[in-house]
Amino acid sequence: MAEETKFEPRIVAFLCNWCTYAGADLAGTGRNQYQANVRVIKLPCTGGIDPLFLIKAFERGADGILVSGCHPGDCHYNSGNYHARRRWNVFRPLLEFCGINPERIQFSWVSAAEGGKWVETINGVVDTVRALGPFEGYQKINAVGSDASGEAATSGDTG
């Protein structure tokens, strides 16, 4: 496993426009550094983040995912995050039941004022997933039927 030290996880972060995205932006304008492994996808609300988005991220080679939005009570649309939380409460155990480590899909509430919490959260996700290693199981099924350099083999790091 000489490659292990070289492994850099790909993290996809689904952020709501009003809170966590603004929080991440605040971290940026405040010149707070965080690990560059994350690809941010901005959406209007956590309530609009279909769990299929998360599956899709894994299909495209993500090793870990963060879903983050407004704290309870702060949703721009009043209740989007409450509905989202319900879904996560059942979706997360379903994936776990299917053998997906729940640490690969993490959830947080980060407000527009919490630049510091954003940095801490995303660094935490990157570190945890780095320790878990590449999501080999998923990358293996993604690559079935295509040669390793083909489009479906999305993990450049692990081959």
Partner 1 sequence: MIEALRKKAEELLKNKTVDVVYGYGEGSVPERTRPVFITKPEDVNKLTWNKYCVYNLTTYLKKQESRKLGKPAIVVKGCDAKTITVLIKESQIKREDIYIIGVTCTGIGDPPATKCKACDVNTPLIYDELIGEKIGNKEFSFEERYAELDEYEKLSEQEKWDFWQKQFEKCIKCYACSSICPLCFCDRCIVDKNQPQWIDPSAHPRGNLSWNVTRAYHLAGRCINCEECQRVCPADIPLNLLNKKLAKETEKNFKYRSGYNVDDELAMATYKEDDNQDFIK
DSSP state of 110: -
CA 121 to chain centre: 11
| Shortest CB 19 distance to partner 1, Å | 13
| Shortest CB 139 distance to partner 1, Å | 10
Please give the residue ranges that form the binding site for partner 1 (CB under 8 A).
Answer: 51-52, 55-56, 59, 72-73, 79, 82-83, 85-102, 106-109, 121, 124, 137, 141-142, 144-145, 152
HSE-up of 52 (CA within 13 Å, CB side)? Answer: 2
| Shortest CB 100 distance to partner 1, Å | 7
Two structure tokens written together for 103: 């640490």
Instruction: Say if CB 10 and CB 65 are below 8 A apart.
Output: no
Closer residue to partner 1 (CB): 9 or 61: 61
Question: What is the chain's length?
Answer: 159
Closer residue to partner 1 (CB): 5 or 149: 149
| Shortest CB 120 distance to partner 1, Å | 9
Two structure tokens written together for 121: 């959260």
Closer residue to partner 1 (CB): 6 or 99: 99
The CA distance from 51 to 135, in Å, is: 18
